[in-house]
C-alpha cells in the first residue's frame, strides 16, 4: 500500500509561478536591479571628477589669460603644441621624470631592506614597525616643513649640528643640492609605503616551499635570489607603479622646500606657476590634461598588476 504525500504549492499561484517569473525577467533588468544602489555614488563621482575634467578640456582649447579676458578666443590645439615645445615645460617634464625615478627606486630598495628586517622575529618588532610607518602618516606639507627647518636650516638644522659636532664645516643643503634635498624628503616619506607592500608580499610566501628549500641545503642568499625575489616581482611592480603615480603629482615638497627654484620645478609646480602667476588658464589646463593622461596610463598598468595579484591569490586558495 503506497501513500501519496500532498504537494505543497507556493502561496500566490500555481506550481512554478515564482520560478517562471524569475526566468522570464530579462537579464538586463536583473543587472540594473543589482546596480541601482550604486547609482547615487556613480552620479556623485561623475559630478565631482568628470565634469571638472571636461571643463578643463574645454578651457585647454582656448587662448585665455585672466588679466585680459576680453581677448579670449578659440585656439584649438595650440596650447598642446606649446606644452610640447616650450623649453620651461620641457625642462619641468625632465625634472619630474628624474625626481620620480630617483624617489621610487631609492624608496623601493630601502623599503625592501626594511621589509626583510621586519619579516624576522625579534623583541620590539611591533614598536619598530610603528615607528617606521610614522613618516607615511604625516601630512605632506608638514613632512616638507620638517625637513626644511628641522634638518636643512643652515643655522639651527640638525644636519649642520651633526657636522659641527664632527668638526666639519656647515653646509647650505637647499642651495648647494636642491634636487637631492627634495628627493631625500620624499624618500623618507614614501619608503614606509613601499615597505608595507613588500612586507605583505614576504608574509604571503608559501611556508612549505621555504622550509623545503632549507631542508635541501639552500642558504639565505639562494633563498632570497631564487625564491623570495621571484615571489616579490608582482609586489615590486605594484610599489613602483603606485609610487610613480603619487610622485609624478607631487607638489608639496617642491613648493615648500625650494619654491620651484634652482632647477627643481616639476610639472605640477610649473602648471601652478602658469595658472596662478602667469594667469594663462588655457596653457595651464592643457599641461594639466597631459599630466592626467600620463597618470591614467601608469594607473592602467597598476590596475593590471593588482588584478593579477588577486588572480594569483584566488588560484592558491
If we measure between CA atoms, which residue out of 207, 208, 210 comes closest to residue 220? 210
Range in 125-134, 215-224, 241-250 the model is least confident about? 215-224
Strands 62-63 and 73-74: antiparallel
Residue 15, classed as helix, strand or coil, is coil
Task: Assess whether pLDDT exceeds 90 at residue 206.
Answer: no
Q: What is the mean pLDDT of the chain?
A: 81
In this structure, the number of other CB atoms found within 10 A of the CB of residue 205 comes to 15
User: What's the pLDDT at 109?
Assistant: 92
If we measure between CA atoms, which residue out of 278, 279, 250, 280 comes closest to residue 265? 250
Q: Which residues share a beta bridge with 63?
A: 73
Using one digit for the tens of pLDDT, what is the confidence trace for 26-67?
666 777 777 777 788 888 888 887 888 888 888 888 888 877
Please check whether residue 174 is in contact with residue 152, taking contact to mean a CB–CB distance below 8 angstroms.
yes
Please check whether residue 197 is in contact with residue 283, taking contact to mean a CB–CB distance below 8 angstroms.
no
Distance CA 60, CA 174 (A): 35
For residue 168, what is its C-alpha cell? 666639519
Distance CA 206, CA 203 (A): 8
Range in 55-64, 92-101, 270-279 the model is least confident about? 270-279
Task: Assess whether pLDDT exceeds 80 at residue 218.
Answer: no
Task: Assess whether pLDDT exceeds 90 at residue 180.
Answer: yes
Distance CA 249, CA 290 (A): 12
Spell out the residues 6+ positions from residue 281 whose beta carbon is closer than 8 angstroms to its own: 59, 62, 64, 65, 66, 275
Distance CA 268, CA 53 (A): 16
Task: Assess whether pLDDT exceeds 50 at residue 262.
Answer: yes
- Name all domains of the chain by residue range, CATH numbers in brackets: 85-316 (1.10.3720.10)
Distance CA 167, CA 160 (A): 10
pTM for the full model? 0.74
Range in 1-5, 145-149, 189-193 the model is least confident about? 1-5
Task: Identify the residue whose cell numbers are 588584478.
Answer: 307
Q: Report the alpha-carbon angle 246-111-138, nearest 5.
A: 55
271 CB burial (10 A radius; 0-12, 13-18, 19+)? buried
Supply the DSSP symbol for 74: E
User: What's the pLDDT at 181?
Assistant: 92
Question: Taking the chain, what is the end-to-end CA distance rounded to the nearest angstrom?
Answer: 52
Using one digit for the tens of pLDDT, what is the confidence trace for 108-165?
999 999 999 988 888 888 888 888 888 888 888 999 999 999 999 888 888 888 888 8
User: What's the pLDDT at 240?
Assistant: 86
Distance CA 188, CA 78 (A): 40
User: What's the pLDDT at 18?
Assistant: 47
Distance CA 198, CA 293 (A): 28
DSSP H helical ranges for the chain: 17-24, 27-35, 39-45, 51-59, 78-85, 87-118, 125-137, 140-145, 158-165, 173-176, 178-203, 207-215, 220-223, 229-248, 252-253, 267-272, 281-316
For the residues 196-212, what does the mean pLDDT come to?
A: 85
User: What's the pLDDT at 107?
Assistant: 94
Task: Assess whether pLDDT exceeds 70 at residue 294.
Answer: yes
For the four alpha carbons of 110, 113, 119 and 124, in that order, the dihedral sign comes to: negative
Distance CA 289, CA 225 (A): 42
Amino acid at each position: 500500500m503506497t501513500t501519496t504525500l500532498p504537494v505543497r504549492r507556493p502561496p500566490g499561484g500555481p506550481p512554478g509561478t515564482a520560478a517562471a517569473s524569475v526566468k522570464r525577467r530579462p537579464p538586463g533588468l536583473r543587472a540594473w536591479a543589482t546596480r541601482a544602489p550604486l547609482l547615487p555614488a556613480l552620479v556623485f563621482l561623475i559630478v565631482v571628477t568628470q565634469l571638472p575634467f571636461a571643463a578643463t578640456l574645454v578651457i585647454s582649447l582656448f587662448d585665455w589669460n585672466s588679466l585680459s579676458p576680453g581677448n579670449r578666443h578659440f585656439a584649438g590645439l595650440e596650447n598642446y603644441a606649446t606644452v610640447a615645445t616650450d623649453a620651461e615645460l620641457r625642462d619641468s617634464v625632465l625634472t619630474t621624470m628624474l625626481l620620480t625615478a630617483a624617489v621610487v627606486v631609492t624608496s623601493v630598495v630601502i623599503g625592501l631592506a626594511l621589509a626583510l628586517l621586519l619579516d624576522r622575529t625579534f623583541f620590539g618588532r611591533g614598536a619598530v614597525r610603528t615607528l617606521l610607518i610614522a613618516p607615511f602618516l604625516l601630512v605632506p606639507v608638514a613632512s616638507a616643513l620638517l625637513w626644511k627647518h628641522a634638518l636643512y636650516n643652515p643655522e639651527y638644522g640638525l644636519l649642520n649640528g651633526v657636522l659641527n659636532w664632527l668638526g666639519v664645516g656647515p653646509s647650505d643643503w637647499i642651495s648647494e643640492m636642491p634636487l637631492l634635498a627634495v628627493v631625500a624628503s620624499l624618500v623618507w616619506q614614501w619608503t614606509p609605503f613601499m615597505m608595507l607592500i613588500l612586507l605583505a608580499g614576504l608574509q604571503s610566501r608559501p611556508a612549505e616551499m621555504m622550509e623545503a628549500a632549507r631542508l635541501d641545503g639552500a642558504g639565505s642568499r639562494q633563498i632570497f635570489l631564487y625564491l623570495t625575489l621571484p615571489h616579490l616581482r608582482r609586489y615590486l611592480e605594484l610599489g613602483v607603479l603606485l609610487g610613480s603615480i603619487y610622485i609624478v603629482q607631487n607638489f608639496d615638497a617642491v613648493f615648500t622646500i625650494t619654491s620651484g627654484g634652482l632647477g627643481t620645478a616639476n610639472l605640477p609646480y610649473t602648471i601652478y606657476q602658469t595658472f596662478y602667476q602667469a594667469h594663462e588658464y588655457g596653457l595651464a589646463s592643457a599641461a594639466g590634461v597631459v599630466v592626467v593622461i600620463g597618470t591614467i596610463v601608469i594607473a592602467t598598468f597598476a590596475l593590471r598588476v593588482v588584478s593579477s595579484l588577486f588572480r594569483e591569490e584566488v588560484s592558491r586558495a
